[in-house]
Structure 1
């Protein structure tokens, strides 16, 4: 493989303008397609094959008008007054008047809760609660939910602000409030920090720009491809934030490794095009296998069978693939375009920007101390991980995706109407044998007797009969809207969903089927499905990656140590994330909530792949030096000399990019950004930089090598690039191979 990659790097360097134009053409074509088609992302969770998914499919088939209405945004505006709403009737009427003037508003449906209660006393309890202190106003707008933009949200927010005050509190949730601000702030912060880190790493401005430009091109192409796929597939908007943050971090990281290696090869001598070939043939080999590990980890998420998880996984896999291709072709082409100016202007006050065969950097000094006394270092690192993991015992999983600007409305609604308002269950019944009357009446009676149902006496069923004035007549399908007392993500609501589904036998005796849908039920199904898939997924991903690592390191102990270290970093990540987001530790989060249900399984896939990246880039150099005759401990120090600076820089970049997404108002992006950032910190700095080298130092020569029978079966991937490390060098350059601190490969 190294020989092929050598030719790819050399070709890209020599034919730089063709390669750069090719990438630019790809960007233009994909961008043009996106502009012409204007694809839209989905806002809803869909779970085909589950009971909730079947219910939603039947709603669309048997209640098309209702399904069409549900596709429009309906925002719940909450009005609250401690002295009672009746004393603020005039102010509420003025609010309603302005709400009717909103763009795309359906004015006939926007009514004061006081007016509804006066005209239809039987509905008073549904719009006024907390003894007349809390009221609800539904604001429907005639636009598809997928077309809602932040301008509609801002218009509503401004209207609410104008009418808030003088004892009247006005908040909103759902509908257009779910619209997100355009992405950009988090990405810009991540890029800015990455640029600073790369300036320090390279000690030169132009070289620092090269990975940054690559990141922009790679992420831009990836996101446009994902957006374009939304034209033919239902892509949830929540998946895009994960793809963006991962794409930025990996693109910059892989570029950093190749550019660093190129500088080392230029210093060895020979033509620059050969140096580019050697850089891609050595560091590029590590990039390919590291990228392959991540792709396997995230693409395997599709076997779970959950659309949003599949979208995240495949989107992330595309991002990694683009990052690998950019590192192998776009980077050498850029290096060729800049030529001898690639590492100018130099910044003299930055020390050790270039590795030196004798000067001791901080990484070398640390490595020597580690191999000298590995046990205290390993014990200290493990102690930190175990301490961080302790809060994991209180970990809760759910799907509370309420953004911070909707929390106030949610609290008011909970106070006036219970926590279940806004998380209604849609119970759907259907029969192929006559009418649904008997089955629907039985279902209503069964549900009314269940604990946990809000206002059970008001439960009614609605049919799909042809007579719009009496839709229950001659209907073969029915729908019952059930409001739980408990919150959508609570265990009590999950139990209520299962109790309703347990009536299927009684309903079946009436010749009908019953299913429970709605976003609350679907998210409950999602959590249950993820719980079942977690362990099998972990086994499959770790197993496949473990086999790849055996081939990469040609050792059993090295992959085993790395995998066990990953498990420690994962439980520490779950623990500290639970402490901050669920327990409210350190006051970083104003509104605590359970961890997103798909966080553990997605985090395992992504972080395991990233962990193996650092394992590949750092430990391959240690193996190479050991195979070239160094003692086991000296080889570890050599690995630090040639890999620690770049690995630390890459980890800081990745942590910064992920952490920047905590500024997002989107709960999913915020939580995933923090969890990924802290996971990379634990794994890169504690596991890869301390625990793995420390245990290798304790094992000595026993850590390297395979049993003879297994050695014959494992393919030699030549990840260190042994076949190409001297191509294009002058004859006298070969003498550098006898230097006890050889030129870096793999991790440089």
Structure 2
């Protein structure tokens, strides 16, 4: 592979304009495709085959009007409450919303609350009227009974007096006809009274079911309206979301503030913000400090931007045909920038060093591509495999996320191996400052400078961080492990969920809507649970309505359920929809328990009522996704760990190095999880990281972090340990090889880690709050993995083990191919003057 990459580097150097033209053509093609074929991104994390998806499909078939997504809009008045002008403005805004093509219906909070407030008095009046009516019926019945008695007495008297029967019947017929008519009227009245009593009973049950629900706050200062859409919330375009907000914000003219919930305000169409630019600026500064010139620093940045433009542009172009979450291109963007800069940096830095040592420019580019480029290829391959393995859990949105990020990283690798050599041929000597050139020329002119360089390398390797670690390896090892162990302690409390409005920035409309809803109506109103019931066939209207309340009573008996209200019934009386309001918010642990208990209640409900139930809606769906992701975590981790062992065994031809690398990765991972829990779940340093409302951790953060951190950790393992192995293979003793290898790789790995941490940290304050904990986790994970694991624990253990670190059974050595990832064989060949022979 090193030989192939050597030739590729030389080809790119010699045919620079062809390579550059090809990449420009690719950029134009991808850009045109993205502009022409892009679709709408969403944050739809539904999983096919789950109960929530099955119930949603059932609603689309049986009750289409209730199958779309719903969202809340909270209105806030001043201390005096809502005046008539404010109520009229809200009613007008809701009426305008109903005219939008994407809106199914709206719920006016004032008319609904008025009906709820009036219901007790209406029920009392109805019961009083029913009682009076029943009293009149009882009085009429008594009168009819008395009339019947009189007719019977008259008939007996006339019979006793010997009056003929025909004469008796003829004489009493008018009275009997009148009594029969009265009896029929009484029966009709009693039937109406019975129906009325049944309706009152249903109204009473409706009132009971609605207790705990309000649409206008008790202090009269807040009101919440519901908007039902024809499509899912995730299917709404940014234009529709903005149109809804523009309409409701029009109530400000009446002195009312309108706050739309997160479901409406969330705009996933924008990928890049100010914080991300700051992260890239910090990376650029690190490059300038390390490489010394703007040209040298700008080259890795340019390569990364081109790689990201192709990778993310291609991902964006596919949004027209693939349901893609907003975090998919964001993850591709984060990784593409970070690895794109790092991979080009490794090649540029190797080429720069070789130029300063006096090597020919063309030969230097080819050799840098064959050596550092070989390590880049393997490092990129580990990241691609780890990300592509996200298809294993079988979650569609996660698979799309992993494949899009893997494709972007693959593009970054290809850019580094082809476009970087081509651009280096154009840059020439401008890569190095005049001062550095002059110093190098003076040094190269000195006699026997090679021996002096070797002596200086040996002295330098015993100083600095590498020298300190290897002088005190036991202390360094224990300190590193203890530090990571302490950082990992909070990870045992990790709780997963998808974010709600409470995770948004405190100055955002979404958070204000969430906070006002929580304080005015209870936290459960921010995320109601939708229950779909299937009733037996053949029920009449009254029977079906009674059945609804029977089911609602059972649902309301679950702990931490504030209200359970029937909201819709299909025309055939077979499908019913209920809205269950939990006590706490949708991402809380108690709401997760409520969902679990509601499902467990299903068998009891079926036995008692004959109805079956299933849960759907955003809250239940998010909980299902989090549970599925949590279940997929252990097998995915096992796959990644197993993969790392195999790959590192192949690369380093050692038993110890793969175990050490994998153990270090697990330590870094645990520490990253612990830090995420401390900041985003417990709220530590919340003011620093803008975590105003700590809660559960993003449910797919762990599985993505495993894949990404594994790949990046193996990057640094390759660059640190390959130098040690190269020194060892060139004849140095094992302990000195650890120092030499560390000394040669530490500067570029330090710069690469700083760059990667800077890029990831730029996403900690992203406009998409879902991305923030992911950016933090990656930045922190890379930070501790690079500086604590790869640059402290690994050299300490390698130094302590000495030659045992490179032990490999002979039978296994014969089986394993020698991939020569550090390109040592290629270097020896070219150093011996065989470069021309290799090319020709």
TM-score, normalization: structure 2?
Answer: 0.78
Residue 113 of structure 2, aligned match among 95, 99, 117:
117
Q: 1:496 to 1:619 in 2, by over 3 A?
A: same
| Cα distance in 1 between the residues matched to 2:729 and 2:625 | 49
In the alignment, which residue of structure 1 is the partner of 2:634? 535
CA deviation profile, 1:140-198 (whole Å, cap 9, x unmatched) = 789985453389549948975984998x7653313431125733223322221111111
- Verify: 1:423 aligned to 2:532, yes or no: no
In the alignment, which residue of structure 1 is the partner of 2:198? none
Q: 1:138 to 1:529 in 2, by over 3 A?
A: closer
| Cα distance in 2 between the residues matched to 1:663 and 1:288 | 32
CA deviation profile, 1:466-491 (whole Å, cap 9, x unmatched) = xxxxxxxx244332222222211222
CA deviation after TM superposition for structure 1 residue 719, in Å: 0.6
Q: 1:111 to 1:498 in 2, by over 3 A?
A: closer
CA deviation after TM superposition for structure 1 residue 215, in Å: 0.8
In the alignment, which residue of structure 1 is the partner of 2:270? 182
Structure 2 residue runs of 5 or longer lacking an equivalent are 120-209, 445-449
CA deviation profile, 1:322-343 (whole Å, cap 9, x unmatched) = 1111111111111123233333
| Cα distance in 2 between the residues matched to 1:669 and 1:349 | 47
- The DSSP-based 3-state class of the residue aligned with 1:49 is coil
Residue 330 of structure 2, aligned match among 232, 241, 247:
241
Q: 1:39 to 1:565 in 2, by over 3 A?
A: same
In the alignment, which residue of structure 1 is the partner of 2:744? 642
Q: Which residues in structure 2 correspond to 1:244-263 (within 5 Å)?
A: 244-263=333-352
In the alignment, which residue of structure 2 is the partner of 1:667? 769
| Cα distance in 2 between the residues matched to 1:605 and 1:55 | 32
- Verify: 1:596 aligned to 2:698, yes or no: yes
- The DSSP-based 3-state class of the residue aligned with 1:421 is helix
Structure 1 residue runs of 5 or longer lacking an equivalent are 466-473, 735-748
CA deviation after TM superposition for structure 1 residue 62, in Å: 2.9
Q: 1:115 to 1:446 in 2, by over 3 A?
A: closer
In the alignment, which residue of structure 1 is the partner of 2:645? 546
CA deviation after TM superposition for structure 1 residue 102, in Å: 8.4
CA deviation profile, 1:257-284 (whole Å, cap 9, x unmatched) = 1111222333455543332221111111
- Verify: 1:452 aligned to 2:560, yes or no: yes
Contact 1:194/1:653 (<8 A) preserved:
yes
Residue 462 of structure 1, aligned match among 568, 593, 604:
568
| Cα distance in 2 between the residues matched to 1:115 and 1:61 | 30
Q: Which residues in structure 2 correspond to 1:58-69 (within 5 Å)?
A: 58-67=58-67, 69=68
| Cα distance in 2 between the residues matched to 1:716 and 1:599 | 36
Residue 684 of structure 1, aligned match among 768, 776, 786:
786
CA deviation after TM superposition for structure 1 residue 614, in Å: 0.2
Residue 443 of structure 1, aligned match among 542, 545, 551:
551
In the alignment, which residue of structure 1 is the partner of 2:482? 383
In the alignment, which residue of structure 2 is the partner of 1:3? 3
Residue 493 of structure 1, aligned match among 588, 591, 599:
591
| Cα distance in 1 between the residues matched to 2:677 and 2:243 | 32
- The DSSP-based 3-state class of the residue aligned with 2:750 is helix
| Cα distance in 1 between the residues matched to 2:757 and 2:92 | 48
Query: Which is worse superposed, 512-521 or 620-629?
Result: 512-521
Q: Which residues in structure 2 correspond to 1:484-523 (within 5 Å)?
A: 484-505=582-603, 513-523=612-622
| Cα distance in 2 between the residues matched to 1:23 and 1:307 | 31
| Cα distance in 2 between the residues matched to 1:297 and 1:613 | 12
Structure (1/2) with the larger helix percentage: 2
- The DSSP-based 3-state class of the residue aligned with 1:78 is strand
Q: 1:635 to 1:223 in 2, by over 3 A?
A: same
- The DSSP-based 3-state class of the residue aligned with 1:230 is helix
- Verify: 1:723 aligned to 2:825, yes or no: yes
Query: Which is worse superposed, 561-570 or 139-148?
Result: 139-148
- The DSSP-based 3-state class of the residue aligned with 2:763 is helix
TM-score, normalization: structure 1?
Answer: 0.87
- The DSSP-based 3-state class of the residue aligned with 1:488 is coil
In the alignment, which residue of structure 2 is the partner of 1:90? 85
Q: Which residues in structure 2 correspond to 1:544-623 (within 5 Å)?
A: 544-586=643-685, 587-588=687-688, 589-623=691-725
Residue 173 of structure 1, aligned match among 258, 261, 278:
261
Contact 2:528/2:581 (<8 A) preserved:
yes
Q: 1:104 to 1:247 in 2, by over 3 A?
A: farther
Q: 1:131 to 1:162 in 2, by over 3 A?
A: closer
Q: 1:330 to 1:110 in 2, by over 3 A?
A: same
| Cα distance in 2 between the residues matched to 1:155 and 1:464 | 28
In the alignment, which residue of structure 2 is the partner of 1:134? 222
| Cα distance in 2 between the residues matched to 1:130 and 1:381 | 56
Q: 1:619 to 1:495 in 2, by over 3 A?
A: same
Q: 1:363 to 1:423 in 2, by over 3 A?
A: farther
| Cα distance in 2 between the residues matched to 1:508 and 1:346 | 84
| Cα distance in 1 between the residues matched to 2:484 and 2:316 | 38
CA deviation after TM superposition for structure 1 residue 248, in Å: 0.8
Q: 1:99 to 1:653 in 2, by over 3 A?
A: farther
In the alignment, which residue of structure 2 is the partner of 1:742? none
- The DSSP-based 3-state class of the residue aligned with 1:454 is strand
CA deviation after TM superposition for structure 1 residue 300, in Å: 1.4
| Cα distance in 2 between the residues matched to 1:347 and 1:101 | 69
Contact 1:429/1:513 (<8 A) preserved:
yes
Q: 1:238 to 1:164 in 2, by over 3 A?
A: farther
In the alignment, which residue of structure 1 is the partner of 2:307? 218
| Cα distance in 2 between the residues matched to 1:250 and 1:598 | 21
Query: Which is worse superposed, 678-687 or 277-286?
Result: 277-286
Query: Which is worse superposed, 440-449 or 558-567?
Result: 440-449
Q: Which residues in structure 2 correspond to 1:342-357 (within 5 Å)?
A: 342-344=431-433, 357=454
- The DSSP-based 3-state class of the residue aligned with 2:559 is coil
Q: 1:341 to 1:703 in 2, by over 3 A?
A: same
CA deviation after TM superposition for structure 1 residue 313, in Å: 1.4
Contact 1:102/1:156 (<8 A) preserved:
no
Q: 1:345 to 1:407 in 2, by over 3 A?
A: farther
Residue 365 of structure 1, aligned match among 428, 441, 464:
464
Q: 1:732 to 1:324 in 2, by over 3 A?
A: closer
Q: Name the count of aligned residue pairs.
A: 716
Q: Which residues in structure 2 correspond to 1:182-331 (within 5 Å)?
A: 182-184=270-272, 185-269=274-358, 271-331=360-420
Q: 1:434 to 1:609 in 2, by over 3 A?
A: farther
- The DSSP-based 3-state class of the residue aligned with 2:659 is helix
| Cα distance in 2 between the residues matched to 1:349 and 1:119 | 88
CA deviation profile, 1:641-660 (whole Å, cap 9, x unmatched) = 21111000000000001111
Contact 1:205/1:346 (<8 A) preserved:
no
| Cα distance in 2 between the residues matched to 1:164 and 1:711 | 80
CA deviation after TM superposition for structure 1 residue 539, in Å: 1.1
Q: 1:147 to 1:108 in 2, by over 3 A?
A: closer
| Cα distance in 1 between the residues matched to 2:26 and 2:251 | 48
In the alignment, which residue of structure 2 is the partner of 1:745? none
Contact 2:682/2:694 (<8 A) preserved:
yes
Q: 1:202 to 1:296 in 2, by over 3 A?
A: same
In the alignment, which residue of structure 1 is the partner of 2:623? 524
| Cα distance in 2 between the residues matched to 1:345 and 1:592 | 53
Contact 2:283/2:758 (<8 A) preserved:
yes
In the alignment, which residue of structure 2 is the partner of 1:38? 38
